[in-house]
Structure 1
Amino acid sequence: MTQKLLSLFLFTLFFSGITGKVLGQASSTLEIRQADVLEGAEGFERLIGSVRMKNQNTLIYCDSAHFFRMENKARLFGNVVIEDEVDSVKTRSAYAEYDGNTKLAKLRNKVVFTNEATTLYTEYLDYDRLGNIAYYYNDGKVVDSVNVLTSERGKYEVNLERITFQNEVVLVNPDYTLKTDYLVYLTIPKTAETKGLTNLVSKDGNKLDAQEGSFYNTQSKQFRFFDGIVETETSRIKGKELFYDELAAYYKGEKDVSVLNKERQVEIFGDVGEYWEERKYSLVHGNALVRRYFEKDTLYMTSDSLISQDNEADSAKFLLAFRAIKILNKDISGVADSLVYNYSDSSIRLFQDPVMWNNKSQISADSMIFYIVNEQLDRVYLKDNGFVITQDTLFNSNQMKGRTLNGYFEEGQISRLDIDGNGESLYFALEGDTLTQGVNKTLSATIKLRFADGVITRVTYGVKPDGRFTPFQMLDEETSKLTGYNWRIEEKPSMEDIFDWRKVEEVDLKAKNLFNLPNAKLRMPTEDEIRKSIEKRIQTTGKRSLNPKLILRENE
């Protein structure tokens, strides 16, 4: 049968609407299954009406087609549907080109790509049937039962159930919205992994940001951020590696962790940190550092481990610190083995050989409590073996000790000291501010001392005090010191000690955030659009110049 007779036979067959088949020379050959009309044309055949074609397991439907038999290719027009007899993938578009040799389908205009519960919408899609991979290049949207993802470019690897999104990626979930420039989404088990800058906002207004990418399980609502920050209305948590369980409201950070309690203005830093949002409970350890922010000052504290509790009950609002305690602000500095900071009354309790310094004063006891009022040191309570040393203008060490001591401060300096039980005092009598006359040493059950600029101005004793005066010429080691005297100024912490303990990496509040970028974009016109605009201008004005600059000049 000649080619001409074969074409005539096919034309007659399909014109009658009878289903027929042309036997291919190889398994990859495109087969015509049905068309209402078949017309021959130069270099191709026209299939019109209810077109059906097949390529191995691939079924093709459209309103009309141009079939290039020699090239084994087809151009498909109107209501194009491409589906597989084996898998669940189905595509729809207004136009497509299909290559039977490479199994590549190029779909254009109103493209819908469906694989079970996952649907991809775009205007420009290349579908590699051989590898079962779909590519889109100029905006696409993927929708499944949980999420909607959009991006400029993407790749859908059907066999791997993996979709890669690139450029201006937006993931919308019932619980949050995410933005990034690179995201890999697994439709099973619905996990998303990003690279580079990633920003997320939850439905409750919580913000989750990552500079180095992230990993999400959208079903379990568990997130992992790299160089990440999670910020809520009451807290901000940062870490090089940050884990967040949304259902449990639990955070865990590793490597350069910081936890900020916005209500208390307390920020904690460490190597590893955990935070429970509902309980407002945090645990930080590994060279831990606390910064308590006041309006005019900042209180610093270092330790090995920290526990912060900010429960609704006043009695359960505290900060615990363990081992290697150092504390410092403009008025006080100190060391201890452990510490409790009570948020409700701004009291600081120090335990196990604590020592504090205030200007020229050193305070020590078995345990002590400091109270801060209006951001200033207000008073101190020393329990058991309290010992106070103050230096006068000649650097003499005035000393006071007793069972319990209560000290009071004004403008950050000690102004009054009350000793109760087994009181002893030793202070140097001065002539002016240049000469030491001797030492007054007194034993009394109670002693009250008054200070001005750190210098003793008045001493009041209880009933029957026992005192003596030792002239300067007769002073020695024994007569110039009370039992238990230990000037430990070399232990006094400084800001250098704080910074050496932990170098804080501050949160960049001006860091780039994709949610702050405008959605609208200015698009430059293409060369073709410029040419058409010029031609339209010529038709309107009757001017013939095709040079845009000349046209603008002529219209001036």
Structure 2
Amino acid sequence: MNIRFLTSSVFFFLLISISGGSLAQQSSTLEILSADLLEGAKGFERLLGSVQMKHQNSLIYCDSAHFYRDENRAQLFGKVRIQDVEDPITTTSSYAEYDGNTKVAKLRNKVVFTNQETSLFTDYLDYNRETNVATYYNDGKVVDSTNVLTSERGIYEVNYEKITFRDEVVLVNPDYTMKTDYLIYLTIPKTAETQGLTNIISKEGYKLDAQKGSFYDTQQKQFRFFDGIVETEESRVKAQELFYDEAKAYYEGKEDVRVLNKERQVEVYGDVGQYWEQRKYSLVHGRALVRKYFEADTLFMTADTLISQDSEADTAKYLLAFRSIKLTKTDLAGIADSLVYNYSDSSIRLFYDPVMWNKKSQISADSMVFYIANEELDRVYLKDKAFAIMSDTLLNFNQMKGRRMTGFFKEGQIENLEIDGNGESLYYALEADTLTQGINRILSANIRLTFQDGAIRKANFGVRPDGKFTPVQKIDEKISRLEGFNWRIEEKPDREVIDSWRKPEEIDPEAKNLFNEPDVHLEMPTDDQIQENLKKSGFMPTKRTLVTEPKKGN
């Protein structure tokens, strides 16, 4: 083998390797492609007119530049444009500094960072080409095909199509305006995720608020709020986790759900709830509670499951309640297995062993319906096994039973009671409301009784009533009770029972809302602006020579 040839080959291979390494090293340095004029200056080269430079996959354009060759960096002036050859990213500004070693571009004044359909506008942007991350510090605006987002600070992670906005964040699209202080926006699926307080107002005036953040799909128009409230002119929906689909006008809530119908002044609570806005139909279950607001009073009702329908037709406006029914009002209380509340006539129907208490009276039947007028109990109908018990001034139990009953009330007290079919009555005869004389027990197909303070004042009977009077001396337990008598006062629910079932926290009307805060940004005037204002006011301070501090010892 020719030793000279071998030596030459090794030398050529080493030369190629060294040259390759040198070229690779040069590829990480800033290169000057062209300029109208090149001037030398102390420590840097000055490029003037139509400057073009290159760094790896980026082309750099500007009006003029200072190139610090030894430091591998440049200052760029006037119509700065940095364009990536491989990625669709272009950045423009009035001034920039570019470091070839760190691959960081610091762009200032009228900065526009563009990535396909997404553009970022600011006056202060640092762009790291190594990590493909752009950061702005003093107000920025991001615009894409759907949304406009602004904030004081932000980070754009291009590789992940992710932008994190911080401080005074505002998202605007054709349908909604959102305000928060922390938002993560993904530019490809166009989703926005917030943390902390979030407030939204729709173009229709709907208010959507969240205390603990939200998730918003801007294209699908779907929202998910945490500790959230959605409020319209007709309704208000709140839950710890609240989902809203705008296209379907559908709400779904979990944990501490509450749905308010403003027109009916009925608010429904539960563990889980669904609400279809167009149908005005809601389903709530899990320790459900209803509050019906009257002008001077409130009706409370508990149930396992609640269904509310409030359609356009009056006959189709109702509330259904199933299992564990308990209701209470200032002068009214009741229990049942199930219930129907018709909004159109303010009637409440109770089924399966219902019992109702009104001041000194208790009524029960297989089923019953009662009506509320002027916020008070107006009348009640009892069907099958109807039984009424009234306590008089001496705490005696006056009793009536029959197939059907109709009771009429005045100022919350029973005034008249009509029994139709198999009527029986047992009432105490009193002397001056202070002394019991005995018991009147009457059987009649039809009975009509008139009361005052729970005591019978007048009795009308049908054809051939069968009556018996027992003096007080001969009254015993059997004589003083009609068959089926059951005084169930211990089952009467009150507010304590209701609150043990569910005690809702009231909504704070003064809760912080970012839309209530004025959009005011105070900027300090520049020195030139201060001098201009002084000149306009007619006062200009006399220029003085700067006096330096005296040297020690003088």
TM-score by length of 1: 0.91
How far 1:115 moved relative to its partner?
A: 0.2
2:223 aligned partner, one-letter code:
F
Partner of 2:510: 510
How far 1:236 moved relative to its partner?
A: 0.2
2:205 aligned partner, one-letter code:
G
State the SS of the aligned residue for 1:498.
helix
Partner of 2:76: 76
Partner of 1:237: 237
Segment of structure 1 superposing worse, 528-537 or 141-150: 528-537
Segment of structure 1 superposing worse, 254-263 or 471-480: 471-480
State the SS of the aligned residue for 1:159.
helix
1:455 aligned partner, one-letter code:
A
2:388 aligned partner, one-letter code:
V
Partner of 1:133: 133
Distance 1:528 1:228 in 2: 49
State the SS of the aligned residue for 1:96.
strand
2:301 aligned partner, one-letter code:
M
How far 1:332 moved relative to its partner?
A: 0.8
Name structure 1 gaps, 5 residues minimum: 1-21, 547-556
Partner of 1:17: none
Alignment of 1:371-390 (within 5 A): 371-390=371-390
Asked whether the 8 Å contact 1:23–1:31 carries over to 2, the reply is: no
Distance 1:530 1:450 in 2: 90
Partner of 1:169: 169
State the SS of the aligned residue for 2:160.
coil
Distance 2:257 2:531 in 1: 58
1:545–1:475 Cα change, 3 Å: farther
Partner of 2:406: 406
Partner of 1:266: 266
State the SS of the aligned residue for 1:515.
helix
How far 1:475 moved relative to its partner?
A: 1.3
Partner of 2:10: none
How far 1:520 moved relative to its partner?
A: 2.1
Partner of 2:358: 358
Partner of 1:158: 158
Distance 2:536 2:295 in 1: 66
Alignment of 1:187-336 (within 5 A): 187-336=187-336
2:221 aligned partner, one-letter code:
K
Alignment of 1:27-106 (within 5 A): 27-106=27-106
Asked whether the 8 Å contact 1:538–1:544 carries over to 2, the reply is: no
Q: Deviations over 1:458-506 (max 9, x none)?
A: 1111111000001111112221111110000000001100111002021
How far 1:545 moved relative to its partner?
A: 12
Q: Deviations over 1:269-318 (max 9, x none)?
A: 11111100000000111101100001111110001110000011111100
Partner of 1:107: 107
1:539–1:439 Cα change, 3 Å: closer
Sequence identity, in percent? 70
Distance 1:361 1:545 in 2: 99
2:159 aligned partner, one-letter code:
N
1:110–1:312 Cα change, 3 Å: same
Name structure 2 gaps, 5 residues minimum: 1-21, 547-554
Segment of structure 1 superposing worse, 341-350 or 501-510: 501-510
1:25–1:350 Cα change, 3 Å: closer
1:428–1:179 Cα change, 3 Å: same
State the SS of the aligned residue for 1:26.
helix
Partner of 1:474: 474
State the SS of the aligned residue for 2:27.
coil
Matched, 1:148 2:148: yes
CA RMSD, 1 decimal: 2.0
Asked whether the 8 Å contact 2:446–2:462 carries over to 1, the reply is: yes
How far 1:526 moved relative to its partner?
A: 8.0
How far 1:114 moved relative to its partner?
A: 0.3
How far 1:433 moved relative to its partner?
A: 2.6
Distance 2:377 2:268 in 1: 22
Distance 2:332 2:107 in 1: 73
Distance 2:282 2:28 in 1: 64
Distance 2:140 2:523 in 1: 18
Matched, 1:436 2:423: no
How far 1:434 moved relative to its partner?
A: 2.5
2:477 aligned partner, one-letter code:
E
1:528–1:305 Cα change, 3 Å: farther
Distance 1:533 1:325 in 2: 75
How far 1:106 moved relative to its partner?
A: 0.6
Distance 1:208 1:545 in 2: 61
Asked whether the 8 Å contact 2:309–2:317 carries over to 1, the reply is: yes
Distance 2:536 2:73 in 1: 38
1:528–1:507 Cα change, 3 Å: farther
Partner of 2:14: none
1:42–1:25 Cα change, 3 Å: farther
Asked whether the 8 Å contact 2:234–2:262 carries over to 1, the reply is: yes
Distance 2:454 2:545 in 1: 92
Partner of 1:391: 391
Distance 2:41 2:522 in 1: 44
How far 1:397 moved relative to its partner?
A: 0.5
Partner of 1:16: none
Distance 1:28 1:80 in 2: 20
State the SS of the aligned residue for 2:205.
coil
1:83 aligned partner, one-letter code:
Q
Asked whether the 8 Å contact 1:24–1:31 carries over to 2, the reply is: no
Asked whether the 8 Å contact 1:301–1:328 carries over to 2, the reply is: yes
Equivalenced residue count is 525
How far 1:58 moved relative to its partner?
A: 1.2
Distance 1:545 1:31 in 2: 46
Distance 2:163 2:253 in 1: 29
2:78 aligned partner, one-letter code:
G
1:527–1:414 Cα change, 3 Å: farther
2:71 aligned partner, one-letter code:
E
Q: Deviations over 1:305-362 (max 9, x none)?
A: 1000001111110000000000110121010000000000000000000000000100
Distance 1:92 1:170 in 2: 24
Q: Deviations over 1:120-163 (max 9, x none)?
A: 11111110111001011111110000000011111100000000
How far 1:542 moved relative to its partner?
A: 3.7
Alignment of 1:14-33 (within 5 A): 25-33=25-33
State the SS of the aligned residue for 1:520.
coil
Asked whether the 8 Å contact 1:256–1:505 carries over to 2, the reply is: no
Q: Deviations over 1:349-401 (max 9, x none)?
A: 00000000000100000000010112111000001111000001111110001
2:122 aligned partner, one-letter code:
T
1:151 aligned partner, one-letter code:
S
TM-score by length of 2: 0.92
How far 1:453 moved relative to its partner?
A: 2.1
1:418–1:178 Cα change, 3 Å: same
Partner of 1:185: 185
How far 1:533 moved relative to its partner?
A: 7.7
Asked whether the 8 Å contact 1:28–1:55 carries over to 2, the reply is: yes
